[in-house]
Amino acid sequence: MSPQSPPYGGQPTGSPQDLKAKATDQFEKIADKATDKFREVTGKAEDFAGRVAEQGRDAADRMQEVAGNVKGAVDKSIKDQPMATLAVAAVLGFVLGALWKS
């Protein structure tokens, strides 16, 4: 058996230095691929987080707008129909109290 041939047939393996260089190259390629994939996933996660934050800001803006509209409607109702507004507030308080007890 020659020093270049493997013990069980197949391709010659080469010197230990060649094997070490090939293994090092393979590990470097795998590490590069893993780094690229990590950067890709990180970029996608950052994009997703940015979209979620933007949607949260939009929702907060809409909630503020609705709250302003409700405040304006309540103020107008108090001025125009104070007794009806008081009755609605009493009913709402009664319903909330009943829900709180159960």
pLDDT in tens, 55-70: 999 999 999 999 999 9
Check residue 18 and give its pLDDT: 85
Query: Taking a C-beta distance cutoff of 8 angstroms, is the pair 67, 75 a contact?
Result: no
Q: What is the pLDDT of residue 79?
A: 92
The residue-averaged pLDDT of 9-30 equals: 80
| Token pair listed for 51 | 């979209």
Instruction: Tell me which of 13 and 19 has the higher pLDDT.
Output: 19
Integer Cα distance of 88 and 74 in angstroms? 11
Q: At what angle do helices 16-80 and 82-101 cross, to 10 degrees?
A: 130
d(CA 53, CA 66): 20
**pLDDT attached to residue 19:** 87
**Rounded to two decimals, what is the model's pTM?**
0.49
Residue 4's φ and ψ, nearest 5 degrees, are -90, -20
pLDDT for 42 beyond 60: yes
Higher-confidence residue of 15 and 50: namely 50
With vertex at residue 19, the alpha carbon angle to CA 14 and CA 25, rounded to the nearest 5 degrees, is 135
Question: Is the pLDDT at 1 greater than 50, yes or no?
Answer: no
